[in-house]
Amino acid sequence: MERQKILIFSDCYIYGGSEKLMAFLLKNEILNENFILQYSYRKHKEYDTGLDNENLLNREGNYPLILLANDTLFHQINQLSIPLLLKKLLKVPFFLVEKLGIYFIWNLLGLMNLLVKTKPDLIHINNGGYPAAKTCNVLVVANFLTGKAKVVYQVNNQARECKGYFERIYDKFINKNVNCFINASHKAKQQLVEKRNFNSNKIMVVNNCVPLPKVKLNREQIFEELNIPPDSFLIVEVAFLSERKGQRYLIDALSALYKKQLLSKEKVFCAFVGNGEQENFLKNYIKDLGLSSNVFILGYKKNSEDYISASDLFVLPSIRDEDMPLVLLSALGYGKPIIATDFAGISQAIEPNSNGILIQNDLETFTDNLANEIYRLYNDEDLRIVLGINAKKSYINYSPEMYGLKLKQIYEQIYAS
């Protein structure tokens, strides 16, 4: 029997978790045995770098596209060390060009050409949220005008509120012309139904997955790199450095514990792995608090899993715009005690006081609650061990094998319908 062609399309201003998920999909043995996987994405430097790190940049069946979007440009402007007003002024001309519809027409033509060239049986659209990357919805329009392949649309975050009459009409079109939506959590599904009025019967919940690469640097080597004593207690967060990931709250929690002498500066350290728009701010913030010898900004690391594996405690204090973060699943797989925020797909992956600790997403009490839980776990080794054992057991629900089998089932079901 001839294998069906699946065109996977993704667009994001960074190469983040939702993009890594597609990399795992492209490498999935089950899916590659049963389907021909094509891959298309909006080409930009950071995305190419991410694919190169995954050894997927020169993969046969890739179709990088020059598509127009302000997301990457605006992200780069946001990282500039200039006044906020000047940043807004720099964005204005590009915002106006987009509003004129020039981007939409260019992208529509490019995506129609892609569909004519690739002739997929099914399209798997991967979007970091909804509406998020506009090109993802444009692909639905392009498919309506050309091949009319079956469409699976994956949304990797909580949907935003619908704004205005045009968006409601557009949503109706998307809902009608997509065969199946995928969310990683029941909460994300609920948001698509409530905020965008999508058909709940079309939305399937599929757990994210993450492979567990063999550790390249062990705990001793990581500690040597950080220049900390071998008997140290290491807290790690792996995430894009942005306000929504909550690094500042973790720094504040540690600062409070150090000041109260509940944690020793000679014993407890914290490492942030990742880069992003708040990198300079966080470095200065750490310096101003006098924590430069204890809290480290390490930047992007291709072997980020080594730092999770080396940690005594993994913390993910996100405050918004999450669903089921892949780094959280990695921490489960490596059997780490976890503290994370109680919302979105995090609440689905973490069972409180069983395979992790959840803290309420209330910014008024967030720092204090985070500090209390760090202090509790630091002083309770037995609890850390139990949480770690249960975390490792729960990883089976997020393995690449489970993900591949579930997607295979969806593809076959949608194609046959």
Walk across the sheet containing 268-273 and list its strands.
295-299, 268-273, 233-238, 313-316, 338-341, 357-359
The two tokens of residue 219 are: 């705990």
**CA-CA distance, 417 to 413, in Å (whole number)?**
6
**CA-CA distance, 208 to 184, in Å (whole number)?**
6
What was the pLDDT predicted at 37? 98
Model confidence at 315: pLDDT above 80: yes
**CA-CA distance, 370 to 135, in Å (whole number)?**
38
**CA-CA distance, 165 to 175, in Å (whole number)?**
15
Q: If pLDDT is split at 50, 70 and 90, which confidence band does 2 have?
A: confident
**Residue 105 φ then ψ, to 5°:** -65, -45
Model confidence at 243: pLDDT above 90: yes
Residue 388: closest CA among 412, 354, 365 = 354
What was the pLDDT predicted at 61? 96
Contact 32, 59 (CB under 8 A): no
Segment 268-295 mean pLDDT? 96
Contact 236, 307 (CB under 8 A): yes
3-class SS of residue 286: helix
Contact 296, 302 (CB under 8 A): no
Contact 183, 155 (CB under 8 A): yes
Q: How far is CA 339 from CA 1, 321, 331, 334, in A?
A: 48, 17, 10, 14
What was the pLDDT predicted at 1? 62
Q: What is the pLDDT of residues 185-205, one digit of tens each?
A: 999 999 999 999 999 999 999
- How many angstroms separate the most distant Cα atoms in the chain? 68
Percentage of the residues of the chain whose pLDDT score is greater than 90: 90
What is the residue-wise DSSP string for 222-285? HHHHHT--TT-EEEEEES-SSGGGTHHHHHHHHHHHHHTTSS-TTTEEEEEEB--TTHHHHHHH
Q: What residue has token string 């490019």? A: 110
3-class SS of residue 130: strand
Percentage of the residues of the chain whose pLDDT score is greater than 70: 100
Segment 215-234 mean pLDDT? 97
The two tokens of residue 332 are: 């489960």
**CA-CA distance, 40 to 114, in Å (whole number)?**
9
Model confidence at 160: pLDDT above 90: yes
Q: What is the pLDDT of residues 99-149, one digit of tens each?
A: 999 999 999 999 999 999 999 999 999 999 999 999 999 999 999 999 789
Q: If pLDDT is split at 50, 70 and 90, which confidence band does 287 have?
A: very high
Residue 305: closest CA among 328, 278, 276 = 328
Segment 164-176 mean pLDDT? 96
**Residue 296 φ then ψ, to 5°:** -120, 135
Contact 19, 50 (CB under 8 A): yes
Segment 351-375 mean pLDDT? 97
3-class SS of residue 37: strand
With 0.85 as the threshold, say if the pTM is over it. Answer: yes
**CA-CA distance, 65 to 111, in Å (whole number)?**
8
Contact 395, 332 (CB under 8 A): yes
Question: For residue 32, how many C-alpha atoms fall within 13 Å in the half-sphere facing its CB?
Answer: 13
Q: What is the pLDDT of residues 18-35, one digit of tens each?
A: 999 999 999 999 999 999
Q: What is the pLDDT of residues 52-74, one digit of tens each?
A: 999 999 999 999 999 999 988 88
**Residue 293 φ then ψ, to 5°:** -85, -5
